[in-house]
Amino acid sequence: MSPPAEPRPARRLRILSLATLYPNDSAPNFGVFVARQMEAVVRTGEVDLTLINPVGLPPFPLSLHPRYRKLAALPHREERGGVAVMRPRFRLLPAIGGRFNARAVARAALPLVRRLHAAAPFDLIDAQFFYPDGPAAVRIAAALGLPSSIKARGADIHHWGKAAGTAAQVRAAGHAASGLLAVSEGLAGDMAALGIPRGAITIHRTGLDRSVFRPLARAECRTRLGLPQQAPVLAAVGALIARKGQTFAIEALPALPGAILLLAGTGPDETDLRAQVQRLGVADRVRFLGAVAHGELPVVLSAADVLVLPSASEGLANAWVEALACGTPVVTTPIAGARELITEPAFGRLVPRDSAAIAGAVSELLTAPPAPADVQRGAAGFSWDASAAALIAHWRQLTPLR
């Protein structure tokens, strides 16, 4: 009897992925979680990946703003972390033109994608966010006769899925795509509530670099940040926007004597937050750190006793997972993604967006701090390798062999 035939190796996929958020030289933290995922995909050797990161530029004279001049100067093609990144430009109407962005992205990207596809055919068109990436990916896939996949991460559903000018586009893309991903069960439920078929949605968790996000020596981290060794330290990591709820963390400070709050991030609410800390008389206890490089976040998280992030909505926040991996418990709101992650007292507390409730939860964790090793269990199973393997498996299910 002849020996059984060796299984044939899986065919190498050619994937074109759209990501409107992706790091660049002018904004190295912009969509860094997407970059880590795609870098892990490329490392598997199973995928030839091309990533399109469309750059939105407004008409003159708005185009003269320093922010847009930096974006205009970005290279049209480059390699970042082993990923081939291409940046076609599309017309952006800041603040008022969100409903037009998906069509503008597709129109700008399609000629480039057609040329690439003619030279070496793609197997699937992927979108890393539901809007504007999702409807654009569906348009491009339809033009090329290819399957498509869209990932939902949080605000792309909670905001764009309800906004008057884009909700119908989100629903239509959800019905047209060959496959859908969501970062949490709760987000999948929110998608279904919008009318997107729940049976088409696969849960795809975020990843984590454990060589970076791990407990560091607290005393050394506090010294690096110029913090007192004995004071309670809280951290809030995320854009300074209303949805993240830093204002509620600040409101809790008067009930937490001596506690210092670190705000890592930038955003449009910074002026209001600075005014708030002055008004409450806690300016000496709030440190605005600005944009913190992703690789430096473990220093902030390890210096802190608690991560406080009272978000109004999230899919499954990377900051929660990264804090747990650093041994730092989390205080956040009982939104669906958080309920799936903060499942044990050692991992943190779920409380309303209320300063008294936040102060009470923080006080509990300061009075009886959980062991870092117990907190770390909350991040068990999260890794970029696992995330990449699951993503590739999802793509393969949608891709007919040719």
174-225 confidence digits (pLDDT tens): 999 999 999 999 999 999 999 999 999 999 999 999 999 999 999 999 999 9
Is residue 77 domain-resident?
A: yes
* CATH number for the domain that contains residue 260: 3.40.50.2000
Cα separations (Å) of 233 from 136, 156, 228, 259, 338?
43, 32, 9, 6, 22
**Residue 143 and residue 158 in one domain:** yes
Is pLDDT at 163 greater than 90 in this prediction? Answer: yes
Phi, psi of 51 (to 5 degrees): -110, 125
Contact partners, residue 153, CB within 8 Å, separation at least 6: 128, 129, 130, 183, 187, 315
**Residue 374 and residue 388 in one domain:** no
Tally the domains of the chain.
Answer: 2
Is residue 120 domain-resident?
A: yes
pLDDT of residue 107: 97
Dihedral of CA atoms 281, 285, 290, 291 in degrees, nearest 10, equals -140
Percent of the chain at pLDDT above 90? 93
| Start-end of H helices in 217-288 | 218-225, 246-252, 270-280
**Residue 180 and residue 272 in one domain:** no
**Residue 170 and residue 241 in one domain:** no
Average pLDDT, integer, range 31-53: 97
**Residue 253 and residue 316 in one domain:** yes
Tell me how crowded residue 115 is: count the other CB atoms within 10 A of its CB: 9
Is residue 270 domain-resident?
A: yes
Average pLDDT, integer, range 106-122: 98
pLDDT tens, position by position, 341-378: 999 999 999 999 999 999 999 999 999 999 999 999 99
Q: How confident is the model at residue 3 (pLDDT cuts 50, 70, 90)?
A: low
Between CA 233 and CA 42 the distance in angstroms is: 38
Between CA 245 and CA 208 the distance in angstroms is: 24
Q: How confident is the model at residue 11 (pLDDT cuts 50, 70, 90)?
A: confident
Average pLDDT, the chain: 95
Is residue 153 domain-resident?
A: yes
Is pLDDT at 150 greater than 50 in this prediction? Answer: yes
Is pLDDT at 4 greater than 90 in this prediction? Answer: no
pLDDT of residue 179: 97
Is residue 314 domain-resident?
A: yes
**Residue 165 and residue 20 in one domain:** yes
**Residue 229 and residue 145 in one domain:** no
**Residue 268 and residue 367 in one domain:** yes
Between CA 319 and CA 391 the distance in angstroms is: 21
Is pLDDT at 324 greater than 50 in this prediction? Answer: yes
Contact partners, residue 259, CB within 8 Å, separation at least 6: 231, 232, 233, 234, 253, 285, 362
Positive or negative, the CA dihedral 169, 181, 212, 324 is: positive
pLDDT of residue 216: 98
pLDDT of residue 2: 53
pLDDT of residue 402: 45
**Residue 153 and residue 86 in one domain:** yes
**Residue 345 and residue 389 in one domain:** no
Cα separations (Å) of 12 from 7, 39, 80, 386?
15, 16, 21, 18
Is pLDDT at 6 greater than 90 in this prediction? Answer: no
Is pLDDT at 263 greater than 70 in this prediction? Answer: yes
Between CA 150 and CA 127 the distance in angstroms is: 5
140: closest CA among 153, 157, 127, 156?
127
DSSP 393: H
Average pLDDT, integer, range 12-20: 97
Is residue 116 domain-resident?
A: yes
**Residue 272 and residue 250 in one domain:** yes
Is residue 213 domain-resident?
A: no
Query: Model pTM?
Result: 0.92
Q: Which domain holds residue 350?
A: 218-379
**Residue 234 and residue 348 in one domain:** yes
Q: How confident is the model at residue 10 (pLDDT cuts 50, 70, 90)?
A: confident
259: closest CA among 105, 145, 365, 396?
365
Is residue 143 domain-resident?
A: yes
Is pLDDT at 24 greater than 50 in this prediction? Answer: yes
Cα separations (Å) of 388 from 11, 17, 23, 50, 382?
16, 14, 18, 15, 11
